[in-house]
Structure 1
């Protein structure tokens, strides 16, 4: 593989989504990621409709390019395999609870003893200094604890609801990539590794309250919690005569052009509620209500044409079914088709972005469970007879 991270070697002891997503980014960018799996495989392998066992759709999209080593970490020989690998790796990332890793003898001290330059990244539910530190953490629980369902209820009414995405897992996973890369950069500069901990709960509270601390940011407070525009019940896709459209004029120039294009050119001068950005923010419900009344008068296609001509930010609404036909995504080759040895023909999504000097390779297939067990052990110095003994004793497993 090429890419800007070619030559970087990472041990991935993570499962499901948050940790695997963090390492997926670096794998796409060229790092060698050795995915440590139990003999039964990552649970994500077994979720969703799949043409072949152990290659579920969620798994294949967060395991591209990774190498799979199936090993029983509860066995001393399994622990030794991982620590021997650490001697030639740059980092280890895990989202397994630290206490569990400690019981396996895979805490930071064990890795540091083998490789002081190694960066040990631990994605946890709650920071170690707090009373929640030992609690289990899943996306739904962290969404709940960080206030997201109640925020949705406050904006839209009805019952509290989770966002229909694994939002916390994905946000914290991507932040985990940042922590991993920063740790690698520091180790490269100083020659010294370190332990890095990233908690889900605190990360998501910062994510939510960065928008909604509002007037409570100051002492004394200057106003209530919340960002009014985001909490407006009228902040939603607007109905047109035949469907819906996303429209967001934001600054004074855009609102001036919007009202002119929709036949209300003097509105900002005759209605002081909408005359500048501060007053519009204070009257956001009324503003969005007015926009809703205007946009229902024409079809979506008409509005997209009118708003594009006026240089007003607007987009059509996609569904899960229609987004694959988006013309821009087709232009950039976003969805790609590959031949997977187990899944057959399949659609995948490579890492977005481009690199002028270190281009990344197209999306590769996710590994079968234990597909690389033999080659990884050989690279770690295990002789052929030792590998066969480990397989025979049930310490490791291979795809064959």
Structure 2
């Protein structure tokens, strides 16, 4: 994305995660914040106030500009920036961005071929289009606590801000598709990405199940995913994750570990799927008989997918991640930061962490000076052409 300039008026995680990936892939991302700053600066710990871990991670490699868009002079500065940009992306509600004068029509008047990406909670085309949204409320709307309740007996959120991150990935690919269209045709366009619709699509990949048919053949959930016994198996000294699932894995496990299960009752994946709770229960009893390491050794020898149960702290000292150079150490004004790096690989155009996250308004002077230089160059060109 080298040579692409992105004006980023997003906050929290949804939009910033999308633009963080753009920055990792070489785009120049200018993050525009109000005087109070992005709320994510303050919600987790960091080495100095206003530089919390989540903020630093999803805003790495960006330039930071602070503008008070209630002030006419700062509005004019943003207008000048937009005129130089390829992408404008924001996460304000539709009514708020219109009130400030930076809706699509206004921005397109400044840069006709711009890709303009709206990051909303709900689509403007529906009755809840201007409703505020956060990860917890969207998880509830799209059925995550419900399916967690089917599994655990009590509704609950998943322990990650899934809706923000899934929607962020949707915003990334949607913006890239619009840029690809512009590359071929020269035409910019407006893009809308919403948390609710993105997560509804995400959840219904498997949970639509038989509810897609007319008449429905099952409720809208995937029974294996919500089975209460689907969890890491307890061993004699800990836990192990294993999926003794398809016929190849099942037959290998049966032959080596449980030959007495060699009956027609469990002979095919289809038959096991219809009684998956019982199958998980039987496996759970069996896994109690050995230690975690004994099971890992046995399952790996049988080529059955398995893994030890690790913590998120363990990721920072993981042999696989360290072997591929996943983490990138970056020196910042607040000290060294070990960033989780780019998770995709390209043979010709690899990404990288292009620097630290900006302090609030850190690049104001530099960006304003560049705008002034750009205005002078345009004026000189106009004078020379006369």
Same fold (TM over 0.5): yes
1:296 aligns with 2:288: yes
Distance 2:354 2:297 in 1: 36
Structure 1 position 374 matched with structure 2 position 368: no
The corresponding residue for 1:182 is: 177
Corresponding residue for 1:62?
58
2:99 equivalent to 1:142:
no
Secondary structure of 1:61's counterpart equals helix
Residue in 2 aligned with 1:394? none
The correspondence for 2:108, drawn from 105, 112, 119, is 112
Partner of 1:396: none
Deviations 1:198-245 (A, max 9, x none): 111111112112211111111122233211110110110000110000
Quick check: 2:31–2:64 contact (8 Å CA) kept in 1?
yes
Contact 2:147 2:221 in 1 (8 A): no
Stretches of structure 1 that go unaligned for 5 or more consecutive residues are 385-400
Range 220-229 or range 305-314, more displaced? 220-229
The equivalent of 2:322 in structure 1 is 330
Superposition RMSD in Å:
1.5
Distance in 1, matches of 2:31 and 2:48, equals: 20
Distance 2:269 2:374 in 1: 70
Report the Cα distance in structure 2 between the residues aligned to 1:224 and 1:41, rounded to whole angstroms: 45
Q: Is residue 192 of structure 2 the alignment partner of residue 197 of structure 1?
A: yes
Q: Give the Cα separation in 2 of the matches to 1:337 and 1:223.
A: 49
Aligned counterparts of 1:325 and 1:87: Cα–Cα separation in 2: 45
- Answer yes or no: is 1:239 the counterpart of 2:230: no
- The match for 1:276 is 268
SS of residue matched to 2:155: coil
Distance 2:286 2:212 in 1: 36
CA-to-aligned-CA distance 1:153-205 (integer Å, 9 cap, x gap):
11111x31111111100110111101110111111111111111111111111
1:337-370 CA-to-partner distances (Å, cap 9, x unmatched) read 32211x2122211111222112223452111111
For residue 23 of structure 1, report the CA deviation from its aligned partner.
Answer: 0.4
2:382 corresponds in structure 1 to none
Match of 1:220 among 215, 222, 246: 215
Match of 1:68, SS? Answer: strand
Match of 2:355 among 338, 345, 364: 364
2:290 is paired with a residue of what secondary structure? coil
Distance 1:80 1:98 in 2: 20
Q: Which residue of 2 aligns with 1:348?
A: 339
Corresponding residue for residue 87 of structure 1: 83
* Contact residue 23 and residue 354 of structure 2 kept, 8 A: no
Give per-residue Cα distances to partners, 1:63-97, cap 9 Å, x unaligned: 11100011111112212211211111111111111
Count of matched residue positions in the alignment of Structure 1 and Structure 2:
375
CA distance, structure 2, for counterparts of residue 20 and residue 225 of structure 1: 32
Q: Residues 25-104 of structure 1 correspond to what in structure 2 (within 5 A)? A: 25-104=21-100
- Identify the residue that residue 393 of structure 1 maps to in structure 2: none
Distance in 2, Cα, partners of 1:59 & 1:376: 21
Which of the numbers 175, 195, 202 marks the counterpart of 1:207?
202
Q: Does structure 2 conserve the Cα–Cα contact (< 8 Å) formed by 1:348 and 1:363?
A: no
Paired position in structure 2 for 1:309: 301
Tell me which residue corresponds to 2:17: 21
- CA offsets 1:16-73 (integer angstroms, 9 cap, x no match): 1111001011110100000001122111112222221221111110011100011111
Residues 349 and 363 of structure 1 are in contact (CA less than 8 Å); yes or no, is this contact kept in structure 2?
no
Deviation at 1:297, TM superposition (A): 0.3
- Higher deviation after alignment, 219-228 or 304-313: 219-228
Match of 2:165 in 1: 170
**2:384 is matched with which residue?**
none
| Alignment partners' CA distance in 1, 2:268 and 2:195 | 38
TM-score, with structure 2 as normaliser: 0.94
| Residue in structure 2 matched with residue 265 of structure 1 by the alignment | 259
Counterparts in 2 of 1:362 and 1:62: CA distance versus 1, 3 Å: closer
| Alignment check: 8 A CA contact 1:350 1:362 kept | yes
